[in-house]
Amino acid sequence: MERTDDRFLPVLLLAAQALVWPGAALLRGATPSAAELLAAVLVYGLVTVALAVRRARPVPVLVLVAAACALGAAPLPTGALAVLGTAGVALALLTVALERDTATTLLCVGTLALWQLLHELSLHGLGLGSGDGEGLALVLTALLYAAATGGGLWLRRRREARRTAERRLHRAEAERHRLPAAERRRMERELHDVSAHHLTAVVVTVEAAVGLRERRPEMAGEALEFAASAGREVTRALSAVKAPAPSAEDLPAPEERLRELVAGFRALGQPVTCEIDALPDGAVADAAYGIVREALTNVVRHASGAATTVRCAYGDAHTEVVVRNEPAAGAEPSGLGGGRGQNLLRGRAREAGGTLATGPTADGGWEVRALLPGRTAAAPSASVPRSYRLAQALTAAGLCFQPLLPVLVLRDDAVSSGSGVPAGVLFTLLATAQALALLRLRRAPRATLGVELALAALWPAAVAASGYAGPAVLPPVLSALATCLALAGCAARAAEEGDARSGLAVPGAAALVHAAAATASVALVDDGPGPLWAVAAGAAAASAGAAGAAWWAGARYGVRRRGAREAHEGRLAAWTEEAVRDAWAERRRITAGLETTVLARTAEVVEAAEGGELSRTAERAREALAAMRALLDTVRDGEDRAELRPQPTLQALDLLVHQWRATGREVEVRVTERVPERLSAEVDLAAYRAAELVLEAGNDEPATLVLDADGGELTLTATGVPGAAHRAARERLAARAAALGGTLTADRPDAVLLRLPLTTPANPATPALPQEENR
């Protein structure tokens, strides 16, 4: 679509310009001269070709289009550049704002306007100074440039927001499939590493004591004591595996895992140096860990003792993982790669959405380089060096003050500027001030509207000071443009947040202010139309209509934005919920096997050891080890899945945090020691759902959730969640709290406090956990 726009939009402008001139002149019977046609062909062709490649080189295209129009505006007849000198330049300015940063955009539009004012150059055949009567062409040019620049900035912001939303949805969907498998692998690894080792040690120790109890009876007591302590350690470790707490201590950062991995290879005698950036939890961190581990393992296998460097750089566009080793002394070059390991590495990178390349280095070593996705949320703009900004400013000053092009421009006889300040200058200054105020419209719409209304009151003073005698309706119309945009912005913000408190008070007040200013402006014009009462009535009707239309249009836009945002957040929340439920089902499936098999057998090991039954202890330890191996086989096969996915509770908060972090959002959850380990099912489920709702309404801001218990109440404090204070989210949270006799407090715009009783009044005992809930 972009290629079609690049190729045919300039052609449409060229066709429109040809219809205006020379088409209209030919219809009137005025035949242009050959020199005029030749000059027009040259200017039209240059501008059209330049606009066709504007997206690739927007700033040079703007300079070229402005220079070509300035050279052709004076010698060509009036109207010969009416379209290309206005719409063409506006299109070039809009492209600069769309494709370049804000500072470059403002520098370009400011330089262009200052260049035209200093040298009194026109790009469309009309003067910019006082020689055109009241200098109204200056006002129209300023409005055109402001509209093109503002439109480009708005389109760029919308495009970046859309791309960010698409990236977040893509990563959330990928995590939806990855999280359950990752949880299964985590529990499998911990079951094997923590428990199988202990149970195997118990079996070996107790059976050795059984075989030597005749010759060394003292070993029986030691073996029983070891079996009891090891059994209790297995029980404690398995209980921790069942529900890891979502805290920084239990969930080490990905970069810490990488550093521990490097330290482990150093302990094997491998000289490894590392440079590792902080990484977010998710598929990228897991892929980086697996790639580094596999690459270092290959180094130990094929180039043991070779100096190795590990670098993991996390950036906006991509994450770069590089493992490079020097050649090992006496190693054969053919032994640097076996093939299968490289395929595994590429598979890991591919699963994370990246690429991987391996190969020998120039000095005979080996390098593994992976490019993985970078930040998944809206990436901050890269800081521009100050030297680059200085070069931009010097270039703009050179283009603005260079005398070559103004000398080449053909001019008519100079026209005296007259006395006093032209109305066009004052009107341009006011219109520029209103345009600058609109830059804050997105962040502070109500404050922006107040500034616009204050500036609107200055238009009658400008009319009186300049002695304006042009069209009486022009000053009110010019002053109303920016105010209507501010009104639309206020309406859009109110509709997007679901806030209907203002009603018609805001547009009514704006219409009243503008009606008074318009009446004064029209009355100050010498040839003002009609009596004052008629002017006031007409101004009031026009102001009310314009304010109402702007408010209605802004409200419609805000409703559409809210619908699009809710649809995006709904998809993101649905995928997050599905991922957490699947992972929670995996955890519950495995922990059910733990409770019914391994933990029961381990408890029997401890009981037999404490009872002094050596043979029975060995037998129960052997059974517990066999049950552990059977459970591991079940975990790997993925069998015996639960038909109904259980509702997550507070024990699944770590899964919820993982899922939101995977979308690029910074989320932290802290659970204090005062929170009981066992809560009633209603409170447990309600607290989890409240945390889920708060995170859904938090947009992209970093969020912190703190769970605490005080005075018989469970408190959930959420900060960094401005969306949770909006009416819709607040009503859902309040309803969930009220169902259990709790309360909701939202004193700050970005924080909420939820209080729930630790025991429900209806049933203080712990009831069965509901399997499903309609949301």
SS (H, E, C) 640-702: CCCCCCCCCCHHHHHHHHHHHHHCCCCEEEEECCCCCCCCCHHHHHHHHHHHHHHHHCCCCCC
CB 491 within 8 A of CB 551: yes
Residue pair 665/714 in contact (Cβ under 8 Å)? The answer is: no
CA dihedral (700, 702, 706, 707) positive or negative:
positive
Dist. CA 672–CA 480, nearest whole Å? 56
- Written as six digits, the tokens of 775 are 């949301």
Starting from the edge strand earliest in sequence, which strands make up the sheet with 703-710, in order?
Answer: 667-671, 703-710, 713-719, 751-757, 743-745
Query: What confidence score (pLDDT) does residue 2 get?
Result: 41
* Distance of alpha carbon 289 from alpha carbon 291, whole angstroms: 6
φ/ψ bin of 710: left (φ > 0), alpha (ψ from -120 to 50), beta (otherwise): beta
Could you tell me if residue 414 is left (phi over 0), alpha (psi between -120 and 50 degrees) or otherwise beta? beta
Instruction: For residue 366, give the H/E element and its range.
Output: strand 366-373
Say what the pLDDT of residue 64 is: 85
* 238 vs 595: CA distance, rounded Å: 9
Residue 33 DSSP label: P
At 617 the pLDDT is 79
Percentage helix, strand, coil for the chain under 3-state DSSP, each rounded to 5: 65, 10, 25
Q: What is the reported pLDDT for 91? A: 92
The order of strands in the sheet holding 355-360 is 272-276, 308-314, 318-325, 366-373, 355-360
* 377 neighbors 665 (Cβ within 8 angstroms): yes
Tokens encoding 657: 């945090």
The helix or strand, by DSSP H or E, that contains position 168, with its residue range, turns out to be helix 136-190
> Could you give the C-alpha distances from 138 to 97, 123, 251, 432, in angstroms and in order?
21, 11, 63, 11
Which residues are 273's β-sheet partners?
309
With a cut of 50, list the residues of the chain below it in pLDDT: 1-4, 128-133, 245, 247-250, 331-340, 377-382, 412-420, 639-643, 762-775
Phi, then psi, of 409 in degrees rounded to 5: -70, 125
